[in-house]
Structure 1
Amino acid sequence: MERRTFYIQTFGCQMNDHDSAAIASMMEGAGFVRAEGPSDAGVILVNTCAIREKAEQKAYSQIGRWRLLKKERPDLIIGVGGCMAQSEGQKVFTRVPFVDFVFGTQTMHQIPEMVQKVRERKKKPVWIGMQADAASMEKLYVHTKGEGLKAFITVMQGCDNYCSYCIVPFVRGRELSRSSAGIVAEAERLAASGVREITLLGQNVNSYGLKGGDGADFAELIRRVSAVEGIKRLRFTTSHPKDLTDDLIAIFAEEKKAMPHIHLPLQSGSDEVLKAMNRRYTSGHYLGLIEKLRAARPDIAITTDLIVGFPGESVEDFQATLDIMRKVVFDGLFSFKFSPRKGTKAFDMADTIPEAIKEERLAVLQALQQEHTILKNRECVGGTFEVLVEGRSKAGEGQLTGRTPHNRIVNFEGPEALAGREVLVRVTRSWINSMTGELA
């Protein structure tokens, strides 16, 4: 008997999380019911990541665990998709031959059709075409619905930057923006279901509207989404420094719903390394953007990405990264060791850095950032912040949890009836990853 149930396992970034949520809504629209776990599912879908080798290994390891489940239930359908699948294609069947179909980053809207083809013809289709268009994007995202207070909206697909270390343009395709009308409609749908905070997603949201869309640039899109009734908070990620305009920076001063937090990946503090990475900006330009952001919104929280061990990174290059960290004093950091990805320019670069040195530099980087994070959180003690209450905290009985406009976690005592509301909380203590407070 055919099981009309499905289970989704997601690896990777926020965009993958949002894509998986859209896939789930689409499957439900096609008559499937979400299963609690893989053992209850008639269809298992895996949304993978390829940004680093470790992410691919984790995905293949998880898929391998389902081999026995497939043996016990031959009618179980397993589909592998996302960035790793886009990159690997037919090779997925070599690694995990019991998988039934492979779907790419731009064919997710066809998953119900793929499932049906597997059931009818017993074929193993590979649908990884890079033929994205605005209509196919809307087919996927028209199904999204809110689950909780916070939600993501994908505003564009792909990337045209071709940073020398990054596989994203090869697995996500070229940039293509959705229409602002479709995005606003999705925001209205989410608001009606109880969502209060929206994060606009894109590989490079700053270039929204350059290809596709309906004439609005990213700053204008933020203004239009901010006008949606019921949405109290608006965030966006990820921004590219070379495309951060004065108009977009001004949004932080002009739009009340635009939260005072930006994630602005630096990747390296060395101009030589930035050039080799094909980032197309200098450390001086980046510091200029920080000055403008803080002029527009003095309390803005700034987080970043940094890579250590890029080919050719000298001791002086690494020191330049530490120097710019001390100048900016980031609120948070995502740090990584360079991971060579086949097909990128950096994959064939000479003068590779030994793994031991990468490990050492990463540890130094993270230790410095920990000092800065502790400092930034400590500065909040005694201050009162508007907190969007997300619900019960795991920190202790009777505790609620929520986030400040600057995206810092605060735990405090209060009745569960406050969930979903914005309340004033005075911060009394700070930790590395969170803060403690009391209702003001």
Structure 2
Amino acid sequence: MLEEVTKVHDESRQGEAFATQAPDTQTYSKKFYIESYGCAMNFNDSEIVASILNKEGYGPTRNVEEASLILINTCSIREKAEQTVRQRLTEFRHIKKNTPGMLIGVLGCMAERLKAKLLEEEKLVDMVVGPDAYRSLPSLIAEAEGGQKSVNVLLSREETYGDINPVRLDNNGVTSFVSIMRGCNNMCTFCVVPFTRGRERSRDAYSIVREARELFEKGYREVTLLGQNVDSYYWNNESGDETVTFAQLLEKVALIDPLLRVRFSTSHPKDITDEVLFIMIKYENICNYIHLPVQSGSNRVLQLMNRTYTREWYKKKVTRIREILPDCGLSTDIICGFCTETEEDHQETLDIMEFAHYDLAYMYFYSERPGTLAARRYQDDIPEEVKKRRLSEVVALHRRHSEESMKKEIGKTYKVLVEGRSKKSDEQLFGRNDQNKVIVFPKENFKKGDYVMVKVEDCTSGTLIGKAVI
């Protein structure tokens, strides 16, 4: 679907495709090694898988060569991610040749789409497990140990893993993701998610609150509520006498403790409501930040994408957000070079960027993904050099907007949650403010998990630079 994602922050991992690995442990007789690629939902899924494996006697390891089970949690969103996964699987097959009994499995979105190729044609894996089939891992492992190729990629209309307490992998102990729903009902033509993750279903509200509370009690100070479209969250209890909307869920999590910061992602422009915005105003610990993907500024292209809103609707939504939450940080996704996109369409995307002045953006050029509605209906007819040129123009414009946004913060003081040491210096700490902007400042006597008031003194295009104030 998409290619050429840009890096947004110097200190933030958001938006990058990279591997997570579990910490070492000596308490289990068998070891598993897991890598995750793609979106935050995949990282959260890996933590669910780790919990299931722990109960089967598997402990995590960072050393792939000592693992008896290697798993890759995959993403089908971008072609580059699939290429990376294939390369890693080839490397793992070489390791397996010298390790009797080792099993290799592919999890997630790519597993569902490429199961036959991975198992039979390329013979890269022993197991293929779709996003809704993680509970079947123990039986699939047993089949693979018996010499069979095991596969379960069936999608579910009910599975939310709400009763499973995720094992937090490779985390900073301060921030964490909490999945509130699975699947998606928005059939955007460029997107493979409805076909790899199934239809939308919302998780039990009380299990979400319980998980967030347990994280807080363990010392975490920020949770991000995850869903393909969080604003369409809607849960009914079994008796049907109680319903919870996303705004109500947001309030329930915010009420756990004022020291627990709450973020959420992703919002669909057609679904975010004033009720959500007013809840954000009501609670200081709900961060003033909304990820609101626009994808294109052209009504014609938006219709081809099946985004179900117009540029005029989107602009009114941005205006409404800034009326109610004047200091709200706003980020977006933009696709350049979608099928039949003209220069006029491209200019309309640049125009809506000028209107919105996004603080952060994830920008890509389009690449056709097999199985999507766009692949079936439209021709991928924009030359790659044109896609890349349009992307470079979008990136350049966003860089200017980002720099302007950063410079406006100089002289302001923000409450920052310390997430760890800066990548560039052990003498510096980093965290984020309400608007999701990364701030770096001298560590002094502060530590991870502290809230620190920081005055911004300088900035780069992606990072604020400040000093703690009393």
Could you tell me the TM-score, scaled by structure 2's length? 0.89
Partner Cα separation in structure 2 for residue 138 and residue 351 of structure 1: 39
RMSD: 1.8
Partner Cα separation in structure 2 for residue 145 and residue 132 of structure 1: 26
Secondary structure at the residue paired with 1:299?
Answer: coil
1:131 to 2:160 alignment: no
1:29 Cα offset (Å): 3.1
Secondary structure at the residue paired with 1:90?
Answer: helix
1:314 Cα offset (Å): 0.6
Q: What is aligned with 2:280?
A: 252
**CA 1:43–1:257: 2 relative to 1, 3 Å:** same
1:363 to 2:392 alignment: yes
**CA 1:8–1:145: 2 relative to 1, 3 Å:** closer
**CA 1:346–1:236: 2 relative to 1, 3 Å:** same
1:410 to 2:439 alignment: yes
Letter in 1 for 2:123: P
1:61 to 2:87 alignment: yes
Partner Cα separation in structure 2 for residue 212 and residue 342 of structure 1: 37
1:88 Cα offset (Å): 1.6
1:232 Cα offset (Å): 2.0
Q: List gaps (5 residues or longer) in structure 1.
A: none
Of 180, 183, 189, 2:205 maps to 180
1:26 to 2:52 alignment: yes
1:138 Cα offset (Å): 2.2
Of 216, 225, 229, 1:200 maps to 225
Q: What is aligned with 1:142?
A: 165
Secondary structure at the residue paired with 1:24?
Answer: helix
Q: Which has the higher contact order (CA 8 A, sep 6+)?
A: 2
Per-residue CA shift, 1:306-336, capped at 9, x if unaligned? 0010111111000000001011100011011
Partner Cα separation in structure 1 for residue 406 and residue 166 of structure 2: 39
Q: How many pairs are equivalent? A: 436
Secondary structure at the residue paired with 1:410?
Answer: strand
In the TM superposition, 1:6-405 aligns within 5 A as 6-119=32-145, 121-134=146-159, 137-139=161-163, 141-145=164-168, 147=171, 148-209=173-234, 215-229=243-257, 231-348=259-376, 349-350=378-379, 352-405=381-434
Partner Cα separation in structure 1 for residue 234 and residue 259 of structure 2: 22
Secondary structure at the residue paired with 2:94?
Answer: helix
Q: Report sequence identity in percent.
A: 38
Partner Cα separation in structure 2 for residue 8 and residue 350 of structure 1: 37
Contact 1:269 1:322 in 2 (8 A): yes
Per-residue CA shift, 1:34-64, capped at 9, x if unaligned? 1112112111111000012221111111111
1:368 Cα offset (Å): 0.4
**CA 1:280–1:98: 2 relative to 1, 3 Å:** closer
Between Structure 1 and Structure 2, which shows a larger proportion of helix residues? 1
Partner Cα separation in structure 1 for residue 97 and residue 445 of structure 2: 45
Partner Cα separation in structure 2 for residue 343 and residue 42 of structure 1: 33
Partner Cα separation in structure 1 for residue 295 and residue 415 of structure 2: 32
Deviates more, 1:342-351 or 1:382-391: 342-351
Contact 2:107 2:129 in 1 (8 A): yes
Secondary structure at the residue paired with 1:243?
Answer: coil
Contact 2:32 2:60 in 1 (8 A): yes
Partner Cα separation in structure 2 for residue 43 and residue 3 of structure 1: 12
Contact 2:74 2:82 in 1 (8 A): yes
Secondary structure at the residue paired with 2:277?
Answer: helix
Of 440, 444, 451, 1:422 maps to 451
Q: List gaps (5 residues or longer) in structure 2.
A: 1-27
Q: What is aligned with 2:7?
A: none
1:402 Cα offset (Å): 1.1
1:417 Cα offset (Å): 4.1
Contact 1:308 1:358 in 2 (8 A): yes
1:347 Cα offset (Å): 1.1
